Amino acid sequence: MNLIATSKFGDCVRCGEKDTSCKKRGKDLICTSCCKIEDTKKQVEKANLRNRVRGLYGHQVSEGKEDMASRANLMADLDVLASRIVRLREADENGNLVCFCCDKRIHWSMADCSHFISRKNLALRWDLKYNLRPSCKKCNQQEYGNLEPFADKLELECAGIVEILREKSREVYKPELQELKAMLIDFRAKLRLLEAKPTPHS
């Protein structure tokens, strides 16, 4: 019989629920509901990434024409990897980060990857240096990116960058299949380095 307690009552550091059944993860107490949400999200994310990688080269270019399915798969893979990189690189030793727009503190797995210039723009869709930042779901989804503080903070990081990004967004750009594949290899390498850090990211 296992006599070791797997849960206890306390205050959840994720949702703020008081005196509720919690599990200890790292140094934090997390309520069972938040644990289930995080576990489910991790499982879905890993399954999606695994399935996409497996099918990455399932479609080939035939008769000199680009296979649109291959391009779509590559772009979807890049979106997943970019999002994970942007969130993990800002996470502290406990896996928490600060929303770029409103400074709310959240776990990286509960954050979104927010784009200053819309992801419809392929020239900046995977610009990890300036265009992509981690944010809470309220800023990214309900506030449509909360672009005013987003712009202000980008300017604090690099004066003039907002106008540079807006100017670049006017360019018509469609990456070649080989460019997307090269970017995928680079992103995988970046993510491996982040996931190798001795922190509770996974």
Instruction: Answer whether 0.85 is exceeded by the pTM.
Output: no
Report the b/e string of 35-45 with b at 16+ CB within 10 A.
Answer: bebbeeeeeee
Assigned token pair, 89: 């690189």
Helix (H) / strand (E) containing 24: strand 20-25
Domain ranges for the chain, please list them: 8-54, 68-197
Within 10 A of 50 (CB to CB), how many other CB atoms are there?
10
Q: Are 143 and 37 in contact (CB under 8 A)?
A: no
Q: What is the pLDDT of residues 61-90, one digit of tens each?
A: 444 445 677 899 999 999 999 999 999 999
Question: Which residue in 154, 155, 148 sits closest to 131, CA to CA?
Answer: 154
Mean pLDDT across the chain = 86
Within 10 A of 140 (CB to CB), how many other CB atoms are there?
22
Q: Are 112 and 70 in contact (CB under 8 A)?
A: no
Length of the chain: 202
- 33 versus 182: the higher-pLDDT residue is 182
Question: What is the percent of the chain where pLDDT is above 90?
Answer: 61
**Angle 133-71-67 (CA atoms, 0-180°, nearest 5)?**
175
Coil, helix or strand for 108? helix
pLDDT at 198: 65
Question: Which residue in 128, 117, 150 sits closest to 79, CA to CA?
Answer: 128
Report the b/e string of 142-178 with b at 16+ CB within 10 A.
Answer: ebebbbebbbeebeeeeeebbeebeebbeeeeebeee
Average pLDDT of the residues in 125-141: 97
Dihedral angle sign, alpha carbons of residues 74, 46, 26, 97: positive
Q: What pLDDT band is residue 154 in, cutting at 50, 70 and 90?
A: very high
